[in-house]
Structure 1
């Protein structure tokens, strides 16, 4: 999953980026509203963490611009303000959740996970496909109840496919959502990771749709099609 952080406080921004990357997210960081708006308008993100008190363009204006442009990614608003009117203003501008500073990082990550789950139509923190299970809280993957160790990039790819189970996901979309903007998008690593995941979870866990991309679904549903 790929996250955009728009936060002008350097220390906080870097801390959040480092923490989220360690949790398994691909993260881009912007430090002002103008740049943040551009990134959110031109790149694909699974969620955005947006500070309201930004230089150049304030966060509420940035959020309103995104929504007018049809950008539907979930947005978690961060602010030092804690009055009910500021919360209402943020939600009315199109925010999906609200967290006042100071906050616990664990709460932010939990809220972020929930936003991403809801945006992809998943109510539970445990994602499943047949005997494969991925717990988004612990970051653990299992097959038939037995733990399976995946690399960070293998986990990111599997997680994205499970969040969008039953859909055909193109190679380009996978690259855009599991890597930050500095990644070499001409790389063939997606194919490498798919092969590795199949070796660990079974050859049929991910289906290649020739010319279109990849799909992951429950075996029972696949058999019924």
Structure 2
């Protein structure tokens, strides 16, 4: 899962980015609204963590703009504004959750997982697709309770497909999720991961269609 963190605190930001990545979220971090707008226009994210007090404006303006543009990306407000009126405004304007600083990192991560799950219509961190089960939190794949060892990039690609089981996912969408700012993209990364996954899960586990991309069955 790929998330965008908008946080201008140069002490808090790196620690939160590290914590999110340890929890399995591929995280891009920016400190301004202007940069966030550019990143949202050029990449896809599974969720947005939004501070409100930013150097070039109020994060609430971005929240309002996205919702008025009918952007459905899950948004979690993470801010020092703890008064009741601010919480009500944030939720009424379309925030999926509102977390005040200081926060417990484990709780914030759990809330983020819940927000992302809801956006995919899921009720659990355990995703079933075909004959398999993927534990997103534990990053483990099993078939009939037998664990199938996968490497990090294989897990990332499979997670993207499993969260969208029954739907086509393009190669570009996968690349945009597993790479930061499109940097370091290798032309055969996705194909290599899919090839390895088919060897471990079976040839029919992932299907391909020219012009559409990849898909796993529900």
TM-score range, shorter chain: over 0.9
Asked if structure 1 preserves the Cα contact closer than 8 Å seen for 2:133 and 2:141, the reply is yes
Q: Which moved more, 1:94-103 or 1:146-155?
A: 146-155
For 1:48, the equivalent position in structure 2 comes to 48
Asked if structure 1 preserves the Cα contact closer than 8 Å seen for 2:46 and 2:74, the reply is yes
Aligned residue for 2:203, secondary structure, equals coil
Mapped pair 1:155 → 2:155: yes
Structure 2 unmatched runs, 5+: none
What does residue range 92-131 of structure 1 map to in structure 2 within 5 Å? 92-131=92-131
1:186 Cα offset (Å): 5.2
Mapped pair 1:138 → 2:146: no
Aligned residue for 1:65, secondary structure, equals helix
CA RMSD of aligned residues (A): 1.5
Asked if structure 1 preserves the Cα contact closer than 8 Å seen for 2:176 and 2:182, the reply is no
CA distance in 2, matches of 1:101, 1:166: 38
Asked if structure 2 preserves the Cα contact closer than 8 Å seen for 1:25 and 1:156, the reply is no
For 1:222, the equivalent position in structure 2 comes to none
TM-score by length of 2: 0.94
Aligned residue for 1:133, secondary structure, equals strand
What does residue range 1-225 of structure 1 map to in structure 2 within 5 Å? 1-185=1-185, 187-218=187-218
**When the two structures are aligned, how many residues end up with a matched partner?**
218
Asked if structure 2 preserves the Cα contact closer than 8 Å seen for 1:17 and 1:29, the reply is yes
Aligned residue for 1:14, secondary structure, equals helix
Structure 1 unmatched runs, 5+: 219-225
Asked if structure 1 preserves the Cα contact closer than 8 Å seen for 2:6 and 2:36, the reply is yes
Asked if structure 1 preserves the Cα contact closer than 8 Å seen for 2:48 and 2:73, the reply is yes
1:182 Cα offset (Å): 4.2
1:211 Cα offset (Å): 2.7
CA distance in 2, matches of 1:186, 1:154: 15
1:72 Cα offset (Å): 1.6
CA distance in 1, matches of 2:37, 2:66: 7
CA distance in 2, matches of 1:183, 1:145: 37
CA distance in 1, matches of 2:76, 2:117: 13
